[in-house]
C-alpha cells in the first residue's frame, strides 16, 4: 500500500502576546492509502492543529511532513496551495461554505482553481452532490439549507477533486444524531470506494468505526489502536 501521509516528529507552537502554547509536541504517524483513521482526544489536546498541518492550512514549527511522496518543507505559498488542491480535500468543523455562492459553485471551487474545463467541472460537481444526496439543492444558497445539508455539501466539496486524502474535522459535532449518523455513513461509503480519510472526533461511537484510532493528549500520541473487523461493524 502506498503511504499518503508521513509525519516525523512534528512540533507546533503558537506565539500569543505573552504566552507560547506548545500545541503539538513531537508527533510521528503514517497513513496508508485506503485507510480510515480517527484522531481522538480531549478538547484542546491538539487534534485540529494536527489536522490543519496535515491539510497544509498551516505549517509545523518543527519536523518533516510528506504527503503523497511530496516533501512539504520549504514550499512556497502557491506551491502548498497546488499540493492542497491536488491531493487534499478538507471538511471543516464549521462547514465554511461561501455564502455568496450557490451550493453548486461552492462545490465547484477546487476544480475551478485547478483550471478544469466547464463540462468536466459540471459533471464532477453533479456526481459529487448526487453522492452526498444533495443533487436537488444545487442552486440554493448555503444559508437556505440546514446544518446537516451544509455539512454534506462541505463533504462534496472535499471529494469532488478526487483527492488522495480527505481530512474531516468533527464532522458530526454540529449535527443531531440522525444527521450525524448519515454523514458518518457517507464517509464510510466513500472510504469503501477507495478514499483515504483522516477524521477528528471525540465521539467514541464514530471513532470505533475507523480502521485505526490515534489518541492524543497534550499534543502527543498516547495510544494507537487497530480496529480489526470494521467491515462487520455498522452504525448503530
Partner 1 sequence: MSLYLSAAKQGVIRLFTLPRLSLPLIVTLGLTLAAVLTVLAIANTLLLKPLPDIKDEKNIYSVDVTLHISDGIRVPFLSELNRVAHMQQYYSQELGWGHIQVGDSNVEINTRQYNATRLVSASGTPEMLGLDLVLGQSTSSEEAKHGVWISESLWHVAFGQRNNALNSTIEFAGETRPVLGVLADLKSVDLGNDANDGYYQVWLFNDPLEALTQPEALSLGSRGLTFVKGTAELLPTEESLNDWYKDYVEASVTDERPKAFLLGKPLTTQIQPVRDAFMGESRMLVIALLIAMISLLVMACLNLFNMFIAHYQGRNKEFSIQFCMGSPVQRLRRMIFVENLPMFTFATLLGLLAAHWLIRLLPVLAGDNLPLLEHINIDISSILIGGLIVVIINALFSYIALMHVDKHALTESLNSSGKGTPSQQKQSLGRVLMVFQLVLACLLLTVSLISAKQSFDKVYRDLGFDLPNAFEIAMDYKDEQWQQSLDTYEDYVGSELYLLRESLAERLDALGGKVINVANLPLRVNVEISAFEDPDTQETRTMIVAPWAEGFFPEFSIELLAGRDLLPEDKDTNNVVVDRRFAEERLGSKDWQDIVGKPLRMGRDAENVVNVVGVVENVEPAIGAPIDLSLPTLYRFRERTGSRLSMVVIMPDGKTLSEQEVSEVIGDLDARLGNVSVTSIEQRWESMTQTTRLNMYVVLTVAALTLILAVIGVSGLSQMTAAQKRYEMAVRMATGAKQLSLLKLLLKDAGLMLILGLVLGFVVSVFGYQYMASLVEQLPDFTWTVSMMVGLVLALAMLISVAVPSWRTIQSDPMRVLREL
* CA dihedral angle for residue 5, residue 6, residue 11, residue 14, rounded to 10 degrees: -20
State in angstroms the smallest separation of the CB of 84 from partner 1: 6
Q: Is residue 17 involved in binding ligand ATP (CB under 6 A)?
A: no
Only one residue has cell 488542491, namely 85
Task: Tell me the C-alpha distance between 157 and 192, whole Å.
Answer: 18
* CA dihedral angle for residue 129, residue 131, residue 136, residue 138, rounded to 10 degrees: 0
Contacts of 191 (CB under 8 A, 6+ apart): 34, 36, 197
Which of 48, 150, 151, 201 touches Mg ion by CB under 5 A?
48
Please tell me the total number of residues recorded for the chain in this structure: 236
State in angstroms the smallest separation of the CB of 224 from ligand ATP: 17
Residue 45 or 153: the one with the smaller Cβ distance to ligand ATP is 45
Cα dist. 128→26, 113, 211 in Å? 36, 17, 24
Q: Is residue 13 involved in binding ligand ATP (CB under 6 A)?
A: no
Q: Is residue 46 involved in binding ligand ATP (CB under 6 A)?
A: yes
Stretch that binds partner 1, among 84-92, 129-137, 178-186, 215-223 (CB under 8 A): 84-92
Residue numbers at the binding site for ligand ATP (CB under 6 A) = 14, 16, 21, 23, 43-49, 202
Residue numbers at the binding site for partner 1 (CB under 8 A) = 48, 52, 55, 57-58, 77-78, 81-82, 84-86, 90, 92-100, 109-110, 113-114, 142-144, 150, 157, 161
Amino acid at each position: 500500500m502506498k503511504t499518503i501521509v508521513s509525519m516525523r516528529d512534528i512540533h507546533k507552537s503558537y506565539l500569543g502576546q505573552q504566552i507560547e502554547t506548545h500545541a503539538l509536541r513531537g508527533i510521528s504517524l503514517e497513513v496508508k492509502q485506503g485507510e480510515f483513521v480517527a484522531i481522538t482526544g480531549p478538547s484542546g489536546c491538539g487534534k485540529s492543529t494536527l489536522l490543519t498541518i496535515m491539510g497544509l492550512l498551516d505549517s509545523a514549527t518543527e519536523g518533516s511532513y510528506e504527503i503523497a511522496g511530496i516533501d512539504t518543507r520549504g514550499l512556497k505559498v502557491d506551491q502548498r496551495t497546488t499540493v492542497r488542491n491536488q491531493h487534499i480535500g478538507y471538511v471543516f468543523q464549521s462547514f465554511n461554505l461561501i455564502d455568496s455562492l450557490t451550493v453548486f459553485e461552492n462545490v465547484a471551487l477546487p476544480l475551478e482553481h485547478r483550471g478544469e474545463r466547464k463540462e468536466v467541472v459540471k459533471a464532477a460537481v453533479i456526481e459529487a452532490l448526487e453522492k452526498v444526496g444533495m443533487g436537488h439543492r444545487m442552486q440554493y444558497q448555503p444559508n437556505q439549507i440546514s446544518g446537516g445539508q451544509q455539512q454534506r455539501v462541505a463533504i462534496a466539496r472535499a471529494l469532488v477533486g478526487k483527492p488522495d486524502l480527505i481530512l474531516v474535522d468533527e464532522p458530526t459535532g454540529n449535527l443531531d444524531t440522525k444527521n450525524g449518523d448519515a454523514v458518518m455513513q457517507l464517509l464510510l461509503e466513500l472510504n469503501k470506494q477507495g478514499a483515504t480519510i483522516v477524521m477528528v472526533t471525540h465521539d467514541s461511537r464514530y471513532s470505533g468505526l475507523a480502521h485505526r484510532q490515534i489518541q492524543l493528549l497534550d499534543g502527543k500520541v498516547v495510544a494507537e489502536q487497530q480496529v480489526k473487523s470494521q467491515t462487520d461493524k455498522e452504525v448503530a
